Amino acid sequence: MLLSPLPVSFYSQTVFAVARQLLGARLVRALNGDRLTGYIIETEAYAGESDLACHARAGRTPRTEVMYGPPGHAYIYFIYGMHWMLNCVAEAEGAPTAVLIRALLPIEGLDQMARGRITKRPQLWTDGPAKLCKTLAIDGRLNGVDLTRPDGPLWIEPGQAIPDYQVIYGPRVGIENVPEPWRSQPWRYRVDLKNSPFPTHPQGTPAER
DNA sequence: AGCACGATTAACT
DNA sequence: GTTAATCGTGCTC
């Protein structure tokens, strides 16, 4: 069976629905003729100009331009002087919302992912938003790419359905200086790996974060 | 033009 | 638990 990328209609939902339903989907990075893929296990929703944790709080700028564009494109930004972060633009064109991809379970392309980090467990290569970008060779050159195209460098396919009882909700992380109520909104979504549909991992489950 | 800080990570004590 | 690394962005002067 040939899996098609998730369509624009998927990303056109509310940013919260997109963040929730991306859990269990499969992120695909086409690189050097190989597929580097992983199940998405953690996301966060960033809800536009009124959300003071969202970059779009600054309005339409060169940096946030992609978020104002059509849904289903990648918003990739540089932070802390060294890290790249991957987001999926959601909702209608003109609505600057996006979903941060925070963690993956690696599936395909482990050999290529392993370059320079051979001694660690694969799960630890993609258990943070900056780590997964580095592992899948995702950087600013991919900012704005259409995630609904199967012939591009990056897309997302359907994967494992994650029922509600396997989802952990909580506040977004790394936004301690953002005022309430935004700081505490439960807009982080994570698969509870203790009750997950994924194959048992021989090395055990990663630490909760 | 200058400055404070950030949707993080790894390497410390 | 604490902190350095490192630079683009947006805000103030």
* Dihedral angle over CA of A25, A31, A33, A35, nearest 10: -20
A176 touches strand C (CB under 7 A): no
Query: Count of CB atoms within 10 A of residue A139's CB?
Result: 14
The confidence score (pLDDT) of residue A118 equals 59
A177 touches strand B (CB under 7 A): yes
* Covered bases, chain B (protein CB within 7 Å): 5-10
Nearest to A74 by CA among A28, A24, A125: A28
Decide: helix, strand or coil at residue A12: coil
A165 touches strand B (CB under 7 A): no
* Covered bases, chain C (protein CB within 7 Å): 5-11
A81 touches strand C (CB under 7 A): yes
Q: Which residue is nearest to nucleotide B5 (CA to C1')?
A: A80
pLDDT tens figures, A55-100: 999 999 999 999 999 999 999 999 999 999 999 999 999 999 999 9
CA distance A68 to A91: 10
Distance in Å from B4's C1' to A170's CA comes to 29
pLDDT tens figures, A8-34: 999 999 999 999 999 999 999 999 999
CA A55-A17-A185 angle, to 5 degrees, is 55
* pTM for this predicted structure: 0.94
A132-150: average pLDDT: 98
A89, β-bridge pairs: A98
Distance in Å from C11's C1' to A57's CA comes to 13
Query: How does A174-184 read in b/e, with b if 16+ C-beta sit within 10 Å?
Result: ebeebeeebee
